[in-house]
Structure 1
Amino acid sequence: MADIVIVNPRFDISFWGLEHCMPLFGKQANLPVACLGLLAALVPDHHDVTLVDENVEDIDFDRLAQADMVCVTGMNIQGRRLIEILEEVRARGVMTVVGGPMATVEPEALDGLADVLFKGEADETWPEFLAAWEKGEHKAYYEQPEKTDVTTLPVPRTDLLKVGRYMFGSMQISRGCPFTCEFCDIIVTFGRRPRLKTSEQVIAELEDFLQAGFKMVFVVDDNLIGNKKAIKAVLRDVIEWQQARAYPLTLFTEASLDLAEDDELMELMGRANFQNVFIGIETPNEESLRETKKLQNVRPNAGSLIDRVHRIQDHGIDVWCGMIVGFDHDDPTIFEAIPEFLIRARISTALVGLLHAIPTTPLYKRLKEAGRLNNEKDHDQYGTNVIPLGMTSEELRDGFIETMQSCYEVDAYLERLDAQFFDQNFKFTMHELPYWSNWRMAWAKRCFLNYVRFGVVSSRLLSLVKEAPLRDRYRKQLARIVKQRWREPHILFIYALKLATHYHYAEVARAVADVDPMTGAMSDAGKPFSRSRKAEPVAGKKAKEKEAMAA
């Protein structure tokens, strides 16, 4: 029997982390990376497994020194802390294993820091390694020759997580995406053929989350609707499960914009209680969309970007989105175009990021061949490794900061939020279903709890915010939503959540503007916006971002 510890390093404060408003919810982190529970589930029963997520607990390195093996997984954004952990553990003479997105796309950065490195998906190679290690025959490098058959995966070990410290659960239904966006590493790692779990697996995981005490779950798939026919069958079973239990779980996910072209799919997602969807819109500049091969966003017969976003909202699903600045066809006018687009689209939650070329992507290869990748010093100064074409690096950095501040200035944010919740009179699908006429007691209990949640979040928010003008503005908005939509307690609660998350976004936007006056270097708070912060769930590689909001 071996003592195995699996560690997830802490994230820096970022858009999706919601760190500034976690105290409002009595939580320490928004969600666990889904690979932790999956990696633990793939360990044979005769070994002891401990999960350590530094986002909800401190690392006890004396405890790690007693382990037979310490495994670390993490994304590029966690890179500095991941390296520190590996160095500390190795200094204590413990065997180290590393995998995850960073190990997959930048393995050279981890040279000499681990005894074993996993590249790509590790659902098969991780158990293979453990079996070989028991015999003293393991290798130093593992990479699966084939993509994982996700229908063979076990239910993750949610029981090993400190569940009460997280706001959401995180689960995965599918891997892969059919599209070919130039900047994205998803298709490089997971391929273009979406692979889905069975309905039985999905229901088992939902049941597990419910028993663990979660109320909200982020489905971290990079594109839940990559295979529309297959996901519709799963959604029908999720609907049946939800309705048999009076809708105990609220779901969020990520999907491509072509969701707006399928009325049946939007209806099924709404009835399954997917209340929010994160969509990579990227830019209102159609030339930039074509440049980066985001062709699913520029289909002439599907309507404009605005039309499609409104279509999804009209089906009772709130839209979050990702926006990127720094494409080759971007010039300084993009910094005004993005805030204007978000207002017209009525999207309150938008992650605006700098274009970043991830190693292994077609974008990275193209820019490297063209000599358009920043060195480490310039990366720190400008917040991205991309040298832009349509403007200087200084203009890109400063324009990005200006855009973030413009999007999350309180008047701009509330203009977008109120356009949706007051002007549009937005309603979530699940709350409008005739289903509730047969579940009156459950409906009454849900309404009561949402009134309570609204009161708790509102009072904590007004206590947390120290700036009197901002606090007074929040108080005014809360009074307005009560006056106009008091009969809809779920809308009251969501609106209070939206105000709370604005507080976080505004604090992050403020930090992004912290550029060193001597060197011109962007603060660490700004750098995560040039990279993916999604909770990526695959053992050994992925751990949506929900780019978040969220998560």
Structure 2
Amino acid sequence: MADLLSGALKPRYQGQKADLAKALPPRWDLYRNDRALAGVVQTSRGCPFDCNFCDVIQYLGRVQRHKPPERVLHEVQALYDLGYRQINLSDDNFTVYRKRTEVLLEALADWNGKDGREPVGFLTQMSIDVARHPDLLAACSRAGLRTAFMGIETSNIEALKESRKRQNLRIDLVEQCEKIVSAGVSVQAGLMVGFDSDDLSCFERQRDFVMSLPVINFRVAVLVAPVATPLYEQMEAAGRIVVEPSLAPSTSAIAHTNIEPAQMTREQLTEGAMWLRAELLAPENVIPRFEHYARTLGPRLPHLVPAQTGGPSVKAHPFLELFSQMARNRATRRVIECVRELSEENPLLRADLMQALGMYLNSYMRQPSEARQPMVGVAQ
């Protein structure tokens, strides 16, 4: 930047991977924070795993780098001062280096809900093998880290093998999920279809698998091959890569894969994934999962339970508007009533249940309109 400002810009600059110990904190004070519901702090970069469809290791590396706890706390405090009470620890695998994670969680636990501060809910990404470490899960709950996205992907063992998702092999995925949730960490799960070992029965199999989990929210995706991944190289060598300008990813719909599937057409894969997503969002399927979730989830520590007194914060308004709108829908009103009853039975879980409900209702609204039931008056 100095060269640019002085008119001495060189033709090429060769950088290195950033040292997170020297990283400057983001200037969130310059941002329109009224437009955001959750803050973000990145505490590490990179992932040591080798999933063949993931491009993280291509641009962030397989040697994970860590930001010192004191710098993390500085950024967390800055976001707290700006009104954030939900903060995403934006890591690709937060718990993969246990000793580092334990030190950071201890620092967050000493900060969160102490010295007159309101409790903050943290969320992050981690792998399901964290279930093998109950002490680490307990530390997550003590720190207020109550939500984690996990790439569960599939119950198809052959698919896990072909994708090199080794951390999900040789374990009971249902049992591991229940261990994590019972320790007080809610799971948001990635679910994937379209592996070479998947045939047209995979969609119903995935639906049945999901219904055995204490998990509310899923991100359903078709298998794609990002450029520079081992999967892309494999598919390109086999002549199975499809290049189309319409393959840009979408957060509200399931796009076509850029791979020619082995046991179905690309169109069948997209249609099957959309069917699976609609099935998982159907109120008659999500209500039993809410009940399973409430039975399983470990409670929050009392000092980390958000206060229910006073008016709603500015950042709660979008959720209240969402609840109001969805209460006019016959189907989702049943889900809202279910969660209200579960919250009354389990007051220490209310914040977790409401967060899961907000995410669910948002996903339900983002479905194609034909997948939702028409809105009706509340009296009806």
TM-score (norm 2): 0.87
Q: Deviations over 1:328-347 (max 9, x none)?
A: 11111210122222221111
Equivalent position to 2:40, from 143, 164, 170? 170
Matched, 1:269 2:140: yes
* Distance apart, 1:469 and its partner CA: 1.3
Aligned to 1:349: 217
1:427 pairs with 295, 298, 301, which one? 298
Paired residues, number? 364
Q: Which residue of 2 aligns with 1:496?
A: 354
Cα gap change, 1:483/1:248 in structure 2, threshold over 3 Å: closer, same or farther?
A: closer
CA contact (8 A) 1:462 1:471 kept: no
- Give the 3 Å change call, closer, same or farther, for CA 458–204 of structure 1 in structure 2: closer
Q: 2 CA distance for matches of 1:394 and 1:379?
A: 13
| Superposed displacement of residue 510, structure 1 | 2.5
Q: 1:369 to 1:161 in 2, by over 3 A?
A: same
Q: Displacement, 1:495?
A: 2.5
Shift of 1:166: 0.8
Q: Does 1:406 align with 2:279?
A: yes
Unaligned stretches of 5+ residues in structure 2 = 249-253, 373-380
Structure 2 letter corresponding to 1:447: A
Q: CA 1:382/1:150 → structure 2, altered by over 3 Å: closer, same or farther?
A: closer
SS in structure 2 at match of 1:231:
helix
Query: How many angstroms apart in 2 are the aligned matches of 1:512 and 1:353?
Result: 20
Distance 2:113 2:340 in 1: 33
Per the TM alignment, residue 505 of structure 1 is displaced from its structure 2 partner at its CA by 1.3
Cα distance, 1:374 vs. partner? Answer: 1.2
In structure 2, relative to structure 1, the CA distance for the partners of 1:204 and 1:400 (3 Å cut) is same
State the match for 2:331 in structure 1. 470
Secondary structure at the aligned position of 1:277 is classed as strand
Q: How far is the alpha carbon of 1:483 from its aligned partner? A: 4.5
Offset of residue 264 of structure 1: 1.6
Alignment match, 2:82:
212
Mapped contact 2:327–2:336 kept (Cα < 8 A): no
Give, in whole Å, the separation in 2 of the partners of 1:378 and 1:159. Answer: 37
CA 1:513–1:137 in structure 2 vs 1: closer, same or farther (change >3 Å)?
Answer: farther
Q: 3-state SS of the aligned residue for 1:136?
A: coil
The CA deviation at 1:154 is 1.5
Determine which of 73, 77, 94 is the counterpart of 1:224: 94
Flag as ranges the 4+ runs of structure 1 deviating above 4 A: 139-143, 377-382, 450-453, 455-459, 511-514
Shift of residue 392, structure 1, vs aligned partner: 1.9
Q: Give the whole-Å Cα distance in 2 for the aligned partners of 1:136 and 1:256.
A: 47
1:156 aligns with 2:26: yes
2:345 corresponds in structure 1 to 484
Which residue in 2 is equivalent to 1:526? none
Which of 156, 166, 189 is residue 295 of structure 1 equivalent to? 166
Q: CA deviation at 1:226?
A: 2.6
Q: Structure 2: how far apart are the matches of 1:364 and 1:200?
A: 39
In the TM superposition, residue 475 of structure 1 has moved relative to its aligned partner by 5.0
CA contact (8 A) 1:315 1:429 kept: no
Contact 2:343 2:349 in 1 (8 A): no
Say if 2:66 is the partner of 1:193: no
Q: 1:157 to 1:452 in 2, by over 3 A?
A: closer
Deviation at 1:501, TM superposition (A): 2.6
Secondary structure of the corresponding residue to residue 257 of structure 2: coil
Per-residue deviation at 1:508? Answer: 2.4
Specify the alignment match of 2:375 in structure 1.
none
SS of the residue 1:448 aligns to? coil
Q: Kindly tell me: are residues 294 and 161 of structure 1, through their superposed partners in 2, closer, same or farther at Cα, counting changes over 3 Å?
A: same
**C-alpha deviation, 1:156, in angstroms:** 1.4
Letter in 1 for 2:266: S
Residues 210 and 248, structure 1, Cα contact 8 Å, conserved in 2: no
What corresponds to 2:114 in structure 1? 244
Residue 402 (structure 1) shift: 0.9
Question: How far apart in 2 are the matches of 1:157 and 1:190?
Answer: 23
By relative contact order (CA 8 Å, sep 6+), the higher-ranking structure is 1
Q: Does the CA-based 8 Å contact 1:375-1:385 persist in structure 2?
A: yes
Residue in 2 that maps onto 1:321 = 189
1:434-449 aligned within 5 A: 436=303, 446-449=306-309
Matches for 1:392-403 after TM superposition, within 5 Å: 392-403=265-276
- Matches of 1:471 and 1:349, distance apart in 2: 15
Give the counterpart of 1:389 among 243, 257, 262: 262
The answer to whether 1:415 aligns with 2:292 is no
Deviation at 1:371, TM superposition (A): 0.8
2:48 and 2:173 map into 1 onto residues whose CA distance is 20
Please give the TM-score of this superposition, normalised by the length of structure 1. Answer: 0.61
> Residue type of the partner of 1:238?
L
CA distance in 2, matches of 1:429, 1:466: 27
* Aligned: 1:509 with 2:345: no
- Deviation of 1:491 after TM superposition, in Å, equals 2.5
Confirm or deny: 8 A CA contact 1:172 1:219 kept in the other structure: yes
Distance 1:370 1:205, change over 3 A: same
Does 2:164 correspond to 1:306?
no
Q: Residue 318 of structure 1: CA displacement?
A: 0.4
Residues 391-440 of structure 1 deviation map (CA, whole Å, 9 limit, x = unaligned): 2222211111111111111111222112111x33x233434xxxx5xxxx
Contact 1:320 / 1:349 at 8 angstroms: preserved in 2?
yes
Residue 364 of structure 1 aligns with an amino acid whose one-letter code is Y
1:209-263 CA-to-partner distances (Å, cap 9, x unmatched) read 1111111101111111232221211221221122533563210000111111111
Residue 402 of structure 1: SS of its match in structure 2?
Answer: helix
Aligned residue for 2:201?
Answer: 333
Superposed CA RMSD: 2.7
Residue type of the alignment partner of 1:408: L
1:379 and 1:346 mapped to 2: Cα distance? 33
CA contact (8 A) 1:378 1:385 kept: no
**Contact 1:482 1:492 (8 Å CA) reproduced:** yes
- Whether 2:8 is the aligned partner of 1:137: answer yes
Give how far 1:159 is off. Answer: 0.7
Residue 316 of structure 1 deviates from its aligned partner by 0.7
Offset of 1:201 from its aligned partner? 0.6
* Matched residue type, 2:342: I
- Asked if 2 retains the 8 angstrom alpha-carbon contact of 1:326 and 1:354, the reply is yes
- Structure 1 alignment gaps of length 5 or more: 1-129, 437-441, 515-551
